[in-house]
Structure 1
Amino acid sequence: MSRHEIFTNLVSSEEELREMLGSPGKLAAHKTIRFLDEHCRNFIAKSPFLVIATADAGGSCDASPRGDAPGFVHVVDEKHLVIPERQGNRKFDSLLNILANPNVGLFFMIPGLGETLRINGRGYVIKDNGMLEGMTVQGKTPLVGIGIEVEECYIHCAKAIKRSELWQPSTWLTQMQLPSIPHMLAAHIQIPDEVITPEDVEKSLEESYTKRLY
């Protein structure tokens, strides 16, 4: 079944979209800069979390989180920054995409702040020891990092954060209300001739979080 059998009333051009929703205001249309100024550097230095968006050679997209202590992203100069590649699941979705298609988008967040920082540019998988040694944590130096050549920087307004009440603890679910990740993963993992239980997943996650965080 193709998507057009489900989504039958589509917007098909920018002209149609603009006619329905309008054009950006003066401030929004002129807020993009092409380099990391002191304000962007300060934002990055205080951010413990980002999402990196990548796509492979065919255009299939991926968005992946990166997080660590505030300042974990190293600003090299006004046009370049480096994200350390910590231990993960070894699928390397972002890295493999960058090797095939260097176009990337970054989305930096600071807890408690509604506005976010967006950066677009070109990504590189780097193994520069001089840069990566400065990102050592708990005695572990990342073997590779993601180098970003900055092309666009701009602040994204807080409307989405305000509408979602993301930073309002009073809106957060209780522990009992949260989705059970072990049950979700056990249902998703398909290994021939092997049954994976929620208990198996919970044990694996706990070991990963306690022994392989860096």
Structure 2
Amino acid sequence: MMNKPFKDFSQTEEELRTLIGFPSELVESKTITYLDHHCEEYISKSPFLVITSSDSSGKGDVSPRGDMPGFVKVINENYLVIPERPGNKRIDTMRNILANPNVGLLFMIPGLGETLRVNGKAYLVKDVDLLEQMSVRGRAPLLGIGVEIEECYIHCAKAFKRSSLWEPSSWADKETLPSAAKIIFDHAGLPGSSTESIEERLKEGYSKRLY
């Protein structure tokens, strides 16, 4: 077994609390167990979220979801639905939900540092009438991820401020960014493929198979 590079660990909550301390009364009190009008408004303006899930053994995964603002449908204060658009067909999130329904959502609005965190139980939804309401370009999603709300709260902007994520002046030049095609080529190692052929596949998918 490979030796871990870490020498000192925190292994109890008591030790963590000694190091970190306790949340303020405001932080303790801000969690609610339903979607109020503030949460619904946030979701209606959010074009992007990440969803965390884990399988029956606890192995975790995080996956992005994005579309036009308001793509996530709020059914009522207790339920929302995320349309499942075409992807890479790994279905990691959906397989995890079948084994373990607990999920976490992090909604983001570009330019806004505060995020909305929603935790709950997920279901793979096939209701045709509901999915038709989330059609784009005449195409309804085949499935949706329904979430029963257990808790939600606004998360502060410190991480976004530290990272300057929404500040264009902090963004690297596109020419210096990692190439997805090169990474996939090296990782997959498929005979007969090339960085150029993978780049073309990516471009085709982005232009023709978003919905």
What aligned pairs does 1:18-167 form with structure 2 within 5 A after superposition?
A: 18-167=17-166
Q: Deviations over 1:166-207 (max 9, x none)?
A: 00000001111111111111011134xx14211011010011
Tell me the distance in 1 between the aligned counterparts of 2:92 and 2:126. 17
Instruction: Determine whether 1:212 maps to 2:182.
Output: no
Structure 2: give runs of 5+ residues left out of the alignment. none
Q: Aligned pairs, how many?
A: 211
Kindly state the Cα deviation for residue 130 of structure 1 after the two structures are TM-superposed: 1.3
> Which amino acid in structure 2 is aligned with residue 160 of structure 1?
A
Query: Aligned residues: percent identity?
Result: 55
| Secondary structure of 1:201 counterpart | helix
Q: Retained in 2: the 8 A contact 1:84–1:144?
A: yes
Kindly state the Cα deviation for residue 2 of structure 1 after the two structures are TM-superposed: 4.9
Kindly state the Cα deviation for residue 33 of structure 1 after the two structures are TM-superposed: 0.2
Instruction: Determine whether 1:190 maps to 2:189.
Output: yes
Tell me the distance in 2 between the aligned counterparts of 1:176 and 1:204. 20
> Which amino acid in structure 2 is aligned with residue 178 of structure 1?
L
Tell me the distance in 2 between the aligned counterparts of 1:2 and 1:102. 33
| Secondary structure of 1:135 counterpart | coil
Q: Retained in 2: the 8 A contact 1:189–1:196?
A: no
Q: Deviations over 1:3-38 (max 9, x none)?
A: 6x3222100100000001101011111110000000
| TM-score with structure 1 setting the length | 0.96
What aligned pairs does 1:166-181 form with structure 2 within 5 A after superposition?
A: 166-181=165-180
| Secondary structure of 1:176 counterpart | helix
Matched residue, 1:200: 197
Coordinate RMSD, CA, aligned: 0.9
> Which amino acid in structure 2 is aligned with residue 10 of structure 1?
F
Cα 1:2–1:15 change in 2 (3 A) is farther
Tell me the distance in 2 between the aligned counterparts of 1:47 and 1:60. 28
Tell me the distance in 2 between the aligned counterparts of 1:154 and 1:2. 39
Structure 1: give runs of 5+ residues left out of the alignment. none
| Secondary structure of 2:52 counterpart | strand
Tell me the distance in 2 between the aligned counterparts of 1:91 and 1:125. 15
Tell me the distance in 1 between the aligned counterparts of 2:168 and 2:195. 28
